[in-house]
Amino acid sequence: MKEIPGGEFRSVDISEKDVVEAMKSISGYIDITPGDFKEVYQSAYALAIKRLLDSITADKIMTRTVIFVDQEMALVEASDLLAEKKISGCPVVGSEEKIVGVVSEKDFLKEMGFGTTPSFMQLATHCLNSKSCMIRRLHNKTVGDIMTKPPITADSTMTIGAISTLFAKHQINRLPIVDNNGRPIGMVTRTDLAHSYHTLGEREKS
């Protein structure tokens, strides 16, 4: 069994040698030591990254067509809806369409008794090994019974830097974006986030 080490990711950093090489390619005597230049570069780079991360906010990357379910909805209807829309989770709302939780595949699997970190493979193994499928546990339950609550939400002005932090901290895959009244107005998924980072690297032609 191979484990991929989850070590600290260290980004490639500029070296004084790089600076010296770059200086050689510029004509004229450049009145700065490679060490100083490296320091200026690193500071400026950190500022640029921060500016980029702050420049993209949730409302720019979220999916606006939010599908949500009512907490009173039967699980069978909810799974039917999620399957039809080809999504793996969505916000759950209560009275006045205010968000009260989030429901996803994980919650279904948890409810079936696959522990706190359930996976489809556990379900497959179990169903292949026994006649009875644990899916029966889900009968007669509503979305409100199994959803993850309280929901982790954000408003539309949250930056992608802050959203990334939230994803990592809470081990979530989707983040409902809510308005001032707590109604879901959008959804940011890990995929949306990945796409947003992809656009960060694109430079405007100068």
Nearer to another protein, 9 or 29 (CB): 29
Contact 186, 177 (CB under 8 A): yes
- Separation CA 165–CA 194 (nearest Å): 13
With CB under 8 A as the contact rule, the residue among 1, 10, 11, 17 that binds another protein is 17
How many Cβ atoms sit within 10 Å of the Cβ of residue 202? 7
Structure-token match 């809510």, residue found: 178
CB of 38 to another protein, least distance (A): 9
With CB under 8 A as the contact rule, the residue among 1, 11, 27, 136 that binds another protein is 27
CB of 205 to another protein, least distance (A): 23
- Separation CA 81–CA 112 (nearest Å): 19
With CB under 8 A as the contact rule, the residue among 3, 6, 9, 29 that binds another protein is 29
With CB under 8 A as the contact rule, the residue among 8, 31, 96, 202 that binds another protein is 31
Selected range binding another protein among 15-23, 65-73, 104-112, 126-134, rule: CB under 8 A = 15-23
Q: Does 55 interact with another protein (rule: CB under 8 A)?
A: no
Q: Does 23 interact with another protein (rule: CB under 8 A)?
A: yes
Nearer to another protein, 33 or 181 (CB): 33
- Separation CA 181–CA 30 (nearest Å): 57
Q: How many residues bind another protein (CB under 8 A)?
A: 15
> Quick one: how far is CA 199 from the chain centroid?
16
SS3 label, residue 117: coil
Nearer to another protein, 30 or 48 (CB): 30
Q: Which of 77, 129, 139 is nearest to 103 (CA)?
A: 77
Strands 174-178 and 184-189, how do they pair?
Answer: antiparallel
Q: Does 13 interact with another protein (rule: CB under 8 A)?
A: no
Q: Does 11 interact with another protein (rule: CB under 8 A)?
A: no
Q: Does 33 interact with another protein (rule: CB under 8 A)?
A: yes
Q: Does 86 interact with another protein (rule: CB under 8 A)?
A: no
DSSP letter for each residue of 39-83: HHHHHHHHHHHHHHHHHSBHHHHSB-S---EETTSBHHHHHHHHH
Nearer to another protein, 35 or 150 (CB): 35
Contact footprint for another protein (CB under 8 A): 16-17, 19-20, 23-24, 27-35
